[in-house]
Structure 1
């Protein structure tokens, strides 16, 4: 067992455990031993469980270290999705992906010429001390990647599964393990008998029991310079299994669960370790109370995950969070389930929804052939329920305006209003400006004018003279667009009474004067602008195209 740096964080956070980290992997000893035994005894073992329950960690750090290399021939754990790509040489892409996992040093072109059976036949046979062949153990992690790939590869997918069944038949010593999310289990059922050749089993991996969760908190610290008291570990576990439900009228109910989600435990413990002062060597109950801000840790995990997905798909993070909050939490403050549409789920593109599932925020379940989504755990209700800050929502709404995403801008401005404190009327005023812009873009001039009036009134009450000027200028430009330059001049002049040096208002006034047939008055306004801006304004007004 390799040595570890006693000051390195012993908790892995979001990523799975690696095989070399088996000395840090606790709480799954029974499951690891049982699956290792089943794998060696049956043709096909299906390991399944919810997203984030720890299947990959169990395989890497729990099961593989238990296998005796003198008595088993263990192939490298395969990931079909990691190697799946069209083959230029015409080979089956699923077969090439599997063989590439087993022999990454070989080119895909060379592997494309082999079947699974031919590949295994070409490998040197391993024998035990008595000269008998040892079993060949082949595991495919995240095997759901086989089943939810491109529909254009359906023929190749079926041929791959047939090859796998043929390989088990031709090589009696081959034992296959498929690890996959439980919502895909039904897709494996038709292939269990042919792949297992009559010898098959399933293992359902559940969340950690309370006792095993405490082991997963305490025991990794054996390899570090720190320890944790039982009271501190108990406090962490109690925090993770306690869920508050808050409905829309503020009523709160609390329940305590009998299990703990492994991924949430890792997120919280990893964050706690990083938060502790360097001099702390024993983590006490006081340290846990002071530094283990479970709600904050989970909220940061949630925000970070949303930010990653938003960046990957070029969607505002606040829009995804707004969607999560309004779709997956009921008015009673409990989890809500929604079905996946053909292209979008409750207005969110399906590729984004699946990315959230892959990152353990959502879980899916098949019901009568339809995928249904919900939050992975009740413990995520509180982080998801949190509103974005009004400032960030308004900022994202303005970006949406620039991109002419009227619906997104309106939704984000509404989210800002909902997130604001009761006394933060400035948020309502700035949201009204955005609503006015959206209404104007849609040709709803009367509605836009009402929002301008609302914004101007609130800004005036708060003595935000710049805001009043913006709202009145927008209103004036609406009149100008309707062909009423005189009313536009009146409104924009009023704006300049509130903010005499407002450049946007002065440019708008010059435009209104020019369209009213008074170019000299317009020139007088323009001449008072900075020279570079004056030239740009003149060019714009004289040559609108």
Structure 2
């Protein structure tokens, strides 16, 4: 890209009060919100991601007020919305009081410091419902109701303050900014007070006409560096970024930023032209190009793998595909196996490249949800699945009615796709540490783990395969079932599984629990409760330890109690499907080849008729029995 200095466009950053001279296209919404500010103490601004909700409030609405009438506190969830609220208030105060002072008390003192109307702006409130705990949400609702004069006092001082709020002595407005798909989450507020969100504004994506005006007006205000933009060029830009006839403001900013950097300079001014607009293509192409450019540059400059960078950035994406802020310590927990040095290097690199923004409480986040959505759909394979040595075959190639064992891994065929998918979920997806593998009886879950997955994983990381039925007869496990978690939070499961366990969080390791239904069948409620708590100790305190649970799907009804202790239990799951005709046919050919019986079509047909039922599902035990018998016959004829 030509070096033209700083771009006059905002890229993915929201507009602020200082940008009011270049904030166009939202006059009607600004006026509506301005009127609402005099009609209610609680305002709701909602809309799709990328419609410019934050800019509308922080720039459009803020720009309508004189500084003497506007004291804004911008608040995000961060790690706890209640702590963020208190911190935002205290940071504005001249002489903050004791730390345990409630928000309503702090707000009265803040008002006395400035004697200006206070605006509490809660941006991306959906984070509270995505990331926040129930207790945190309850506390927040109670505090906000106090601020707007509808809450219950906790002490005599608050009782007097709430009476003062009702009398209009605290000019404080609350503005919620939230994505519209999370509106239902606000029901918890409306249960406490009917009609709470009467003053609400839906921010629509821009019309093409308004977007064209924004482009032309922005160029006119930056005429020192930009040539005037014609109607034809503005129309072409809008066509490149419009979705179903509407335009999202942040996407317009991204495209204009790229266009500014790529467009030619004519008579000392950047000039938007048709060839450059067409060369950039559609918005999705621009975002993909931007990410690809930064990732490629990262590999060159930092000498680290691109997959490592993608997984690093995906740590800032929630399970819902939205942004989630993280601090450096939280990053270390979210990225087991990453060194502290690598984390710092990646933080610095992607902050410099405008992909990450530093925010409050020493946290970082992606600059916009559009990048989060893009990363959410990206796959990054950090670790390649190891190959098995198939040159040395076991004496018994097939297990008959038993599951395949680890020493038969070289002859366990037909599930290569499923092994790769599970390997990527467990090893390469760093967004969680718990995986559930389930399926009906007879689909080969145990064989898949014992002969397919564990022999590959153990080439890379320490891992243990624990048969849950065997734990019922083990003294160490019996003691664990009988004992609640100790005062010192010892992680006893790791002590049992690994004779010499590694320090907590120091290296990735994996525990596979096969036939979990054995616990459900044979342990009483108290023993199950103790077990769940011990497993939660691993989940909470050793993020480098992956937990994989394998069970029959008919025992799914037991999982809610399990999930209450291990929250990720149902977040990442994989159903092992019965093998179908085509897959079985390929498997049969492979096993016949293994026995040196290539091109035995009659035998192939006979086996298929014996092992595939009328619904097209394969009985894998019958496959194993058939081939064990064939091998025995071949040995008998030698």
Return the TM-score normalized by structure 1.
0.50
Q: Count matched residues.
A: 334
Conserved in 2, the CA contact under 8 Å of 1:43 and 1:196? no
Counterpart Cα distance in 1 of 2:293 and 2:7: 19
Tell me which residue corresponds to 1:265. 252
Instruction: Say which SS state the counterpart of residue 9 (structure 2) adopts.
Output: coil
1:161 aligns with 2:148: no
Gaps of 5+ in 1: 1-5, 86-93, 128-132, 243-256, 321-348, 360-375, 415-436, 452-545
Counterpart Cα distance in 1 of 2:137 and 2:94: 21
Deviations 1:301-330 (A, max 9, x none): 46579999x99xx9948999xxxxxxxxxx
1:49–1:69 CA distance, 2 compared to 1 (3 A):
same
Instruction: Say which SS state the counterpart of residue 46 (structure 2) adopts.
Output: strand
Instruction: Say which SS state the counterpart of residue 13 (structure 1) adopts.
Output: coil
1:193–1:175 CA distance, 2 compared to 1 (3 A):
farther
Bigger share in helix = 1
Counterpart Cα distance in 2 of 1:54 and 1:33: 15
Counterpart Cα distance in 2 of 1:240 and 1:96: 39
1:95 aligns with 2:75: no
CA drift at 1:174: 2.4
Tell me which residue corresponds to 1:177. 175
Conserved in 1, the CA contact under 8 Å of 2:46 and 2:179? yes
Deviations 1:31-63 (A, max 9, x none): 122112212321211111112221112122211
Conserved in 2, the CA contact under 8 Å of 1:207 and 1:261? yes
1:289 aligns with 2:290: no
1:400 aligns with 2:384: yes
Conserved in 1, the CA contact under 8 Å of 2:125 and 2:178? yes
Tell me which residue corresponds to 1:492. none
Conserved in 2, the CA contact under 8 Å of 1:193 and 1:200? no
Counterpart Cα distance in 1 of 2:270 and 2:97: 54
1:353–1:450 CA distance, 2 compared to 1 (3 A):
farther
Tell me which residue corresponds to 1:141. 123
Conserved in 1, the CA contact under 8 Å of 2:260 and 2:270? no
1:194–1:23 CA distance, 2 compared to 1 (3 A):
farther
1:119 aligns with 2:106: yes
Deviations 1:496-535 (A, max 9, x none): xxxxxxxxxxxxxxxxxxxxxxxxxxxxxxxxxxxxxxxx
Please show how residues 145-544 of structure 1 align to structure 2 within 5 Å: 145-151=127-133, 154-169=134-149, 170=162, 171=165, 172=168, 173-192=171-190, 200-224=198-222, 225-226=225-226, 227-241=228-242, 257-279=244-266, 280-290=269-279, 294=283, 296-301=285-290, 303=292, 316=307, 352=317, 354=319, 356-358=321-323, 399-402=383-386, 410=420, 447=590
Deviations 1:172-194 (A, max 9, x none): 33221111111221121331475
Deviations 1:260-298 (A, max 9, x none): 122322221111111123445432334433556656314
Counterpart Cα distance in 2 of 1:215 and 1:355: 34
Counterpart Cα distance in 2 of 1:67 and 1:159: 31
State which of 69, 72, 75 in structure 2 corresponds to 1:75. Answer: 72
1:240–1:74 CA distance, 2 compared to 1 (3 A):
same
1:410–1:285 CA distance, 2 compared to 1 (3 A):
same
